[in-house]
Amino acid sequence: MESEASMFETCEIMAALLGSSPLLSQSWSLCSATAPETFTAELIGDVAYVAFSAVQVLPLARGGRELVALEGEAEELFRPLNRHREELRPPPMADSGLLRIFLNIFTHQNLSQKMTRIMQKSKSIVITGHSLGGAAATLCTLWLLSFFHSKTTHQPLLCITFGSPLIGNESLSRAILRERWCGNFCHVVSNHDIMPRLFSTPLSPQLHVLLRYWHLSMVSPQFGKLATQLSQREKDELFQAVLAHFDMISNSGEGSERSQFWPLGNFFFCSENGAICLDNAMSVMKMLYLMLKTSAPNFSIEDHLNYGDYVKEVGIQHMERKSFTSECLLPDSSYEAGLALAIQSSGIPFQEEVARMAENSLRTARRMGLKPTLSVAKLAISLSKITPYRAEIEWYKASCDEADNQLGYYDCFKRVDASVRQARVNMNRHKLATFWNRVIDRWENNELPPDFNIRAKWVNASHSYKLLVEPLDIAEYYRRGKHLVHGHYLKHGRERRYEIFDKWWRGKEIREQGNTQSQRMKYAGLTQDSCFWARLEEARDLLESIKCEGDVRKLALIWKSLENFERYARGLIERKEVSKDAVAKNSSYTLWAQELRALKLNM
């Protein structure tokens, strides 16, 4: 039953996989042995391990970490992520210092050539890194996934990081989710490690100095000795600053507005009692706070180096069978059992207010409703149910195109008509708009598969809807005189759903660039530019204004705009990319073209 479904089944499977396989132990062994090399590679069986060292120099600005868009040198490396730039505001961004570390490695360490040789020798690849090396490993994995994006086949790829800071904003996380890359990332974080939390925290100038000092102690060969030189007061300041920041996020209903940096992929939280795995970003942020808060008595900056102990503990815990404490009653359902087991594995004690907060956080991580794959299947049924509304509009278009008045589809609807037929078409237009707005809302809320916007069925369906219905929206806009109040349709009246569908369709055209289309032998069933009529309305307005304009410079600009539209419309007609309603005898376009020719002759 849906009420009994538990997301912790998936998380326990992930934890069991990592606990029962050598992935964690071998990854950590390579991370520990990498310094002072920037990165190193080793082939173990058919698996290639590429480990990035924690010894990385991170430039720290006075104002803290700075997010930058993936532009310039990074634009080509992460091209698939930039496809979502227009849809996501702000665009996908990464920390400038961490991005600079990776770009320096990529440019000066011949990373591309070395990875090519690695791929030739292996069947699968594990990219791993500790601390700042984990951030470099994450960016390296994103680069490889972007590189594989244009390939028909590629090798399995997994990124495992230990104590890595968050690297980018929520838009970057959403772009990765839409590319279906989240399953390629597993970030291991211990409950006592402050490092992943610290670099996500806005700090005062004094604490920035401490953070820089701590970082310098990390890159030193004598890291253990230098790290202990931080006084207890300085450690407490860092600890309290991190707790205050994550407490604010945890108690905020809209954490994404409070936090500059956002989790991506899976987070594998480990403690002395075991491990849990989460992929819900808001729950990850809350657990980063709660697990650190309950570890205050055991807090130690040096714990950032102790992942070897946690990796070993995960393997031991996997071999032992966990049992609930005597204070905890055996839950009645599988979901409650999974919830209790997850809290126990996190190391958060029972019978505490923090444990109740952790329980609420984990409950929010549970995916409510159907899974995306089932959700899109039900959406397909809903699409079939609105087919009659679309069919009625298509029938209305056919009858308008064949009418004796030779006005065509657009101009018939634009005229004031109190008939039952037009009222039904108008009602169906609103019903279709409601359906597609709901589809967009569900897609943007990640209730549908991340690749939903590139699935041919939905791209074609949305494009056909746009070509059929948007001319009616344009006709309604100008019939009601909204352009006189708000301005022309293209800038002030176009619905957001049409802009999104344009991007989906352009993405399909880019993916199918190699496919050649045959020349049309007859006019299209629907005009291939759904905004053709809006452009015509602007041209009609320009034609009226030219009759009373006395300024020579303004006249030149108006004529240029008119000629541009005339050339554009003629091209559509010659390629037969318009419906026959556009060239009907009494259509708005035909009358406009005749008036323009007459004006040219008179002048």
Could you give the 3-state DSSP secondary structure of residue 89? coil
Say yes or no: 365 and 378 in one domain. no
On whether residue 442 sits in a domain, the answer given is yes
Say yes or no: 339 and 468 in one domain. no
On whether residue 177 sits in a domain, the answer given is yes
On whether residue 219 sits in a domain, the answer given is no
For residue 243, name the pLDDT band (cuts at 50, 70, 90).
Answer: confident
Q: Which two tokens stand for residue 28?
A: 């950590």
Question: Which of 352, 369, 386 is the last residue in one of the domains?
Answer: 369
- Predicted pLDDT at 102: 92
Say which residue, 389 or 1, is predicted with more confidence. Answer: 389
Residues 6+ apart with CB under 8 A from 63: none
Question: Which of 315, 338, 369 is the last residue in one of the domains?
Answer: 369
Distance in angstroms (rounded) separating the CA atoms of residues 278 and 317: 18
Question: Which of 369, 402, 432 is the last residue in one of the domains?
Answer: 369
Length of the chain: 603
Say yes or no: 167 and 274 in one domain. yes
Q: What is the CATH number of the domain that holds 336?
A: 3.40.50
Say yes or no: 326 and 379 in one domain. no
On whether residue 249 sits in a domain, the answer given is no
- Predicted pLDDT at 61: 54
- Predicted pLDDT at 301: 65
Q: Which two tokens stand for residue 115?
A: 């990875």
- Predicted pLDDT at 328: 45
On whether residue 426 sits in a domain, the answer given is yes
Say yes or no: 279 and 398 in one domain. no
For residue 335, name the pLDDT band (cuts at 50, 70, 90).
Answer: low
Say yes or no: 360 and 329 in one domain. yes
Q: How many CB atoms lie within 10 A of CB 430?
A: 11
Q: What is the pLDDT of residues 347-367, one digit of tens each?
A: 666 556 666 666 666 666 655
Q: What is the pLDDT of residues 519-559, one digit of tens each?
A: 888 899 999 999 999 999 999 999 888 877 777 788 888 88
Could you give the 3-state DSSP secondary structure of residue 542? helix
Say yes or no: 327 and 413 in one domain. no
* Contact yes or no for 472/425 (Cβ under 8 A): yes
- Predicted pLDDT at 3: 36
Claim: this prediction has a pTM higher than 0.85: no
- Predicted pLDDT at 349: 62
Say yes or no: 365 and 377 in one domain. no
On whether residue 206 sits in a domain, the answer given is no
On whether residue 556 sits in a domain, the answer given is yes
Q: What is the pLDDT of residues 165-215, one digit of tens each?
A: 899 998 899 888 878 788 889 999 988 887 788 777 766 666 666 666 665
Say which residue, 250 or 563, is predicted with more confidence. Answer: 563
- Predicted pLDDT at 249: 64
Q: Burial code of 568-590, b = ≥16 C-beta within 10 A, e = fewer?
A: ebeebeeebbbbbbbbbeebbbb
- Predicted pLDDT at 343: 64
Which residues are tagged catalytic? Answer: 131, 193, 304
Distance in angstroms (rounded) separating the CA atoms of residues 595 and 535: 16
Percent helix, strand, coil in the chain, to 5, is 60, 10, 30
- State the sign of the Cα–Cα–Cα–Cα dihedral 527, 529, 533, 539: negative
- Predicted pLDDT at 135: 92
Q: Which two tokens stand for residue 161?
A: 């990081």
C-alpha closest to that of 402 among 394, 593, 591, 416: 394
On whether residue 460 sits in a domain, the answer given is yes
Say which residue, 255 or 599, is predicted with more confidence. Answer: 599
Q: Which two tokens stand for residue 328?
A: 């905890």
Say yes or no: 335 and 419 in one domain. no
- Predicted pLDDT at 321: 46
Say yes or no: 143 and 37 in one domain. yes
C-alpha closest to that of 476 among 432, 417, 435, 527: 417
Say yes or no: 327 and 429 in one domain. no
- Predicted pLDDT at 5: 40
- Predicted pLDDT at 128: 94
For residue 60, name the pLDDT band (cuts at 50, 70, 90).
Answer: low
Say yes or no: 364 and 380 in one domain. no
Q: Is the pLDDT of residue 88 over 90?
A: no
Q: Mean pLDDT across the chain, nearest whole number?
A: 80
- Predicted pLDDT at 551: 75
Distance in angstroms (rounded) separating the CA atoms of residues 423 and 325: 67
Q: Which two tokens stand for residue 51?
A: 């480990």
- Predicted pLDDT at 326: 40
- Pairing relation of β-strands 93-95 and 185-190? unpaired
Say which residue, 458 or 254, is predicted with more confidence. Answer: 458
Q: Is the pLDDT of residue 298 over 80?
A: no
Range of the domain at 316: 22-201+260-369
Q: What is the number of domains present in the chain? A: 2
